[in-house]
A and B are shown apart, each in its own frame.
Chain A
Amino acid sequence: MSAPNKSGWKPAMNAAADGMHNGPATTTGNRALMLEEPLIFEIGHAETTGVDLPEIDPTAPNRLAGLSRAEPIGLVGLTEPEAVRHYTRLSRQNYGIDLGFFPLGSCTMKHNPRLNEKLARLPGFADIHPLAPQSTVQGALQVIHELGDWLCKLTGMPSVAMSPKAGAHGELCGILAIRAAHTANGNPREVVLVPESAHGTNPATAAFAGYKVDNIPATPEGRVDVDALKARLGPDVAAVMITNPNTCGLFEKDFRTIADAVHEAGGYVYCDGANFNAIVGRVRPGDLGVDAMHINLHKTFSTPHGGGGPGSGPVVFSEALAPFAPLPFVRKHEDGSYDLVEEEQREVSRGQAFGRMTAFHGQMGMFTRALTYMLSHGADGLKQVAEDAVLNANYILRSLEDILHAPFADSGPCMHEALFGDKDFGGGLSTLDLAKGLIDEGYHPMTVYFPLVVHGAMLVEPTETESKASIDQFITAFRSVTQRALEGDETLKQAPYYAPRRRLDETAAARKPKLAWSEPEE
């Protein structure tokens, strides 16, 4: 819901605290607009189809090497009206940005402009084959090149690899380039330093690339402990991976000093760009000494999160790492034409490209959306994006710090997210209980229990696409649920009450995993 204007509109309140449960039971299990929906396997039939195709001619010759599929596959079909209804009913059990405020910290759940959707669907982008002759896809190559150029200029970095499929894939791309660069110097080195507050993907990526992971300690104010880091640097350290702004919502103000020290010790600086939305258009990571940084197009540049992907994670590189970037990449020629540099022309990247991360050339559908978004905002609008995102987060921090433990409230302004902890909750209530209480109030909860460095962490990221009235409304709701948590209100333990499902038993799900539907036993 958008927040009311001055018209004086007030929500209709439930008559009783448990107003939804007062009525009689229904025979369908439905509760008016809250509709139960079976699985497709419980409503479909093998012989039903929603697509009109020619009937199979069983006498037709085939050249399937005697491997025709004899046994039933076990699929079921629905006609179009049944299918549309099935998925529409499922969709109504989901929360999305279109429905309301979604302050999931570190995920940058901002509005997804529909122009991006429209333009990504132009046949000239959506209906072209990745291996089409390059003379027939010049416009697509141009879009990839233009987007890369924007990313380089926004980050102040000279080079970009466009193919990584998501943020974690981008991290891997960056760390592999670093490893390739060290290897070219004769020694890949052994260790990657990662702060405890980092996303889990950072240590997982470093380990995947064959590195040992060591922790970087933090200062009490929530930033990297520069002295401890410097003391740990040495010839075994391949790289440091630092998120900036960090996952405590703070800008690493000593980033440049850290980068200089890492470079002095012969290492490289990987910046996790997950939080780029806080500084886009205002700060260029290249000015801070970064060697590689991935950019989550689905966060900062608003390609839809889609219920968990697809993402897109291009990586910008410094001069030092650029030659090691993976294939393929798009090259612009003086005559204004473009081509793809693939394995056969690897000498173009001085022959040092570390390899290929994916089939084809990356997430084109995300590229068209991200470029559309960038063109809409422009350099001035993107700067405003960062400023509004940071202002909204600080406003939330300062509006809640009197009631909710804010461990780094004295560390200066936060960036685009505000971090709280569960100190002083009464009655054994936890962050999870507060989150479920927010669900009943009609909000998607913030990120919970991350970063790990704060007990019962709650990471609130409003983004720039919320109005002040919407944020004020959220603050009111958040304060009221927090008050209940502090007072030890037992009813929170059973929340949510009004969602399509009550709390789900995750322990049982993991103990005896049921990961596919099966026909009931007769």
Chain B
Amino acid sequence: MRYLPLTDTDRADMLERVGASSIDDLFVDVPELARLDGPIRDLPMHASEMAVERHMSARAKKNLAAGDAPFFLGAGAYRHHVPASVDTVIQRGEFLTAYTPYQPEIAQGTLQMLFEFQTQVARLYGCAVANASLYDGSTACWEAVAMAGRVTRRKRAVLSGALHPHYSQVVKTMAQFTGDTIADAQPSIQTEPDLEGLTSRIDEETACVVVQYPDILGRISDLSKVAEAAHAKGALLVVVNTEPVALGAIKSPGEMGADIVVGEGQAIGVGLQFGGPYLGLFAVRDPKHVRQMPGRLCGETTDAEGKRGFVLTLSTREQHIRREKATSNICTNSGLCALAFSVHLTLLGEQGLRELAAENHRLACHAADRLARVPGVSLLNDAFFNEFTLMLNGKPAREIVRELADRGVLGGVSLGRLYPGVEALEQALLVAVTETTTEEDIETLATEIEALVKEAGQ
């Protein structure tokens, strides 16, 4: 077997050394009833590289890759061009096959990268401190709610109706078990989000208010007033961002007064990957909150010769030290995805990120105008970054999306899929446009939607 270096001679010699007559002697503690008489049945035997490649490729070919079709999906996962050197770097064995930097003297590569990553994320979010990453945006969102509870010693969270529904599901799932009260809502189909309605739900019991920026419908609005309203009641503002490229064009959540900023980092460097692994970003604006943060933190220090070096720090918050009193049960982070994010963002730099954001916005404006000209289609948003909501007349958007797929167009995410059974949202189609979208793709989408909407109207 190509991954197993022991030879039969080795095995025999080693068994002799350990005083066992056969390998079964080493499994003597397994009770009789759980012993098997051979390899587990109903599973295939070992296979060559070539055979495995054939098996997996056959499955890959059944999927329509985003790069092979006009593609407009977003809703928390965005397709951007990732420079070739990102993958080259993350495939270096020293990064790929390392583990958590428990021995910092031989893990400075990972640690320095994490320190750089933390600085990049903090600056992008307008915050003081970011951690070394969490699993993904949705779990980071729950961790923010939990942290706000620790900081304020309150157990009620107010969720904006325009928070990604998977994120609110995760928060509500966890809250069932922790006894937190979650006040959530559904998005209202309006040009602008109902921030007054949101702030009116904040009370003296509220630990935090959670707002997505840009929101699930692609809308962007000034959150300073929400921050003021939250702070007036002693609550924290948690801002969720699922498209970090947007922050190359619009104000950071920290600038608007967010206390905790969390998000999904996938759009930079990581790729779509059918939903995972992704990259949870987590930052706080005020350094005094650092000791309530979940997850790993990398910090600067010096070695015995006075040279600068980096270590994991403040680990007394974490499960391996604090056990049942830890700030979170999280053990790992999303290290390799953090590296991909950091390399991509380093290649972009300040200038590249701003240019990338501008290009996304330019194409999105063009697409929104073009699609809004299709008879039976209207544009909901006044403001957006690279994703907006279209209202389609006639047929539920969900059916249109399926029919577009049959015509080889990946035409967006229907709100019907995200909010099943909510009639008011049935006509809404969420369309994302990035630098990977061509004007020809936009034209194709417009033409196909026009045909389908017309068909539905007849």
Q: A109 CA to B42 CA in the complex, in Å?
A: 28
Q: A53-B359, A83-B85 are contacts. A165–B5 as well, Cβ < 8 Å?
A: no
List, in ascending order, chain B residues with CB within 8 A of A333's CB: none
A190 to chain B, nearest CB (A): 13
Residue among A53, A92, A113 with the most chain B CB within 10 A? A53
Q: Are B113 and A464 in contact (CB under 8 A)?
A: no
List, in ascending order, chain B residues with CB within 8 A of A383's CB: 39-40
Q: Are B410 and A132 in contact (CB under 8 A)?
A: yes
**Which A197-234 residues have a C-beta within 8 angstroms of B?**
199-201, 203-210, 213
B221 within 8 A of A: yes
Q: A65-B221, A75-B120, A207-B325 are contacts. A46–B105 as well, Cβ < 8 Å?
A: no
Pick the residue among A49, A76, A201, A326 that contacts B173 (CB under 8 A).
Answer: A326
Chain A residue with Cβ nearest B84: A80
List, in ascending order, chain B residues with CB within 8 A of A368's CB: 56
Q: Are B299 and A515 in contact (CB under 8 A)?
A: yes
Q: A94-B107, A122-B60, A204-B326 are contacts. A378–B66 as well, Cβ < 8 Å?
A: no
Residue among B35, B53, B99 with the most chain A CB within 10 A? B99
Pick out which of these stretches binds chain B: A7-15, A385-393, A422-430: A385-393
Q: Are A111 and B94 in contact (CB under 8 A)?
A: no
List, in ascending order, chain B residues with CB within 8 A of A356's CB: 166, 169-170, 173
Supplied contacts A356-B170, A376-B2, A413-B25, 19 more A-B pairs, CB within 8 Å: A47-B351, A49-B352, A69-B252, A78-B349, A84-B85, A119-B56, A129-B79, A210-B177, A307-B95, A344-B420, A354-B176, A363-B276, A364-B276, A390-B27, A413-B18, A447-B102, A468-B13, A502-B307, A514-B301
Residue among B169, B273, B278 with the most chain A CB within 10 A? B273
Chain A residue with Cβ nearest B129: A515
Chain A residue with Cβ nearest B50: A115
B109 within 8 A of A: yes
Q: Are B34 and A256 in contact (CB under 8 A)?
A: yes
B11 within 8 A of A: yes
B339 within 8 A of A: yes
A295 within 8 A of B: no
Chain A residue with Cβ nearest B272: A129
Pick out which of these stretches binds chain A: B133-141, B153-161, B199-207, B450-458: B133-141
List, in ascending order, chain B residues with CB within 8 A of A256's CB: 31, 33-34
Q: Are A305 and B300 in contact (CB under 8 A)?
A: no
Interface string of B1-22 (1 = CB under 8 A from A): 1111111001101110111100
List, in ascending order, chain B residues with CB within 8 A of A115's CB: 49, 52-53
Interface string of A93-117 (1 = CB under 8 A from B): 1111111001010010101110101
List, in ascending order, chain A residues with CB within 8 A of B255's CB: 71
Chain A residue with Cβ nearest B45: A378
Q: Are B347 and A209 in contact (CB under 8 A)?
A: no
List, in ascending order, chain A residues with CB within 8 A of B110's CB: 94, 307-308
Please provide the 9 A-B residue pairs with the shortest distance between their CB atoms, ordered closest to farther.
A77-B349, A355-B173, A124-B60, A360-B275, A98-B93, A306-B336, A139-B62, A130-B275, A310-B277
A409 to chain B, nearest CB (A): 11
List, in ascending order, chain A residues with CB within 8 A of B355's CB: 49, 51, 53-56
List, in ascending order, chain B residues with CB within 8 A of A125's CB: 59-60, 63, 273-274
Interface string of A391-428 (1 = CB under 8 A from B): 11011011100000000000011000000000000000
Q: Are A310 and B276 in contact (CB under 8 A)?
A: yes
Q: Are A365 and B276 in contact (CB under 8 A)?
A: yes
Q: A74 CA to B178 CA in the complex, in Å?
A: 38
List, in ascending order, chain A residues with CB within 8 A of B323's CB: 200, 203-204, 213
List, in ascending order, chain A residues with CB within 8 A of B362's CB: 57, 60
Chain B residue with Cβ nearest A354: B173
B347 to chain A, nearest CB (A): 4
Q: A207 CA to B150 CA in the complex, in Å?
A: 14
List, in ascending order, chain A residues with CB within 8 A of B309's CB: 501, 504
Q: Are B328 and A46 in contact (CB under 8 A)?
A: no
Residue among B76, B319, B359 with the most chain A CB within 10 A? B319
Q: Are A517 and B119 in contact (CB under 8 A)?
A: yes
Pick the residue among A207, A364, A466, A506 that contacts B313 (CB under 8 A).
Answer: A506
B290 within 8 A of A: yes
Q: Are A514 and B300 in contact (CB under 8 A)?
A: yes
Pick out which of these stretches binds chain A: B231-239, B242-250, B370-378, B440-448: B242-250
Q: A205 CA to B322 CA in the complex, in Å?
A: 12
Q: Are B113 and A90 in contact (CB under 8 A)?
A: yes
Chain A residue with Cβ nearest B365: A63
B243 to chain A, nearest CB (A): 13
Q: Are A129 and B176 in contact (CB under 8 A)?
A: no
Q: A50 CA to B310 CA in the complex, in Å?
A: 26
List, in ascending order, chain A residues with CB within 8 A of B353's CB: 73, 75
Q: A88-B92, A127-B272, A129-B272 are contacts. A375–B44 as well, Cβ < 8 Å?
A: yes
Q: Are A398 and B349 in contact (CB under 8 A)?
A: no
Q: A392 CA to B93 CA in the complex, in Å?
A: 24
Q: A356 CA to B180 CA in the complex, in Å?
A: 16
Chain A residue with Cβ nearest B349: A77
B148 within 8 A of A: no
Pick out which of these stretches binds chain B: A35-43, A261-269, A483-491: A35-43
B217 within 8 A of A: no
A351 within 8 A of B: no
Chain A residue with Cβ nearest B416: A344
Pick the residue among B334, B361, B402 that contacts A309 (CB under 8 A).
Answer: B334
Q: A134 CA to B52 CA in the complex, in Å?
A: 25
Q: A307 CA to B342 CA in the complex, in Å?
A: 14
B292 within 8 A of A: no
A455 within 8 A of B: no
Q: Are A439 and B106 in contact (CB under 8 A)?
A: yes
B197 within 8 A of A: no
B363 to chain A, nearest CB (A): 10
B181 within 8 A of A: no
Q: A127-B66, A510-B313 are contacts. A502–B304 as well, Cβ < 8 Å?
A: yes
A44 to chain B, nearest CB (A): 6
Q: Are B65 and A75 in contact (CB under 8 A)?
A: no
Q: Are B319 and A307 in contact (CB under 8 A)?
A: no
Pick the residue among B60, B252, B274, B346 that contacts A78 (CB under 8 A).
Answer: B346
Q: A51-B356, A359-B137 are contacts. A102–B18 as well, Cβ < 8 Å?
A: no
A98 to chain B, nearest CB (A): 3
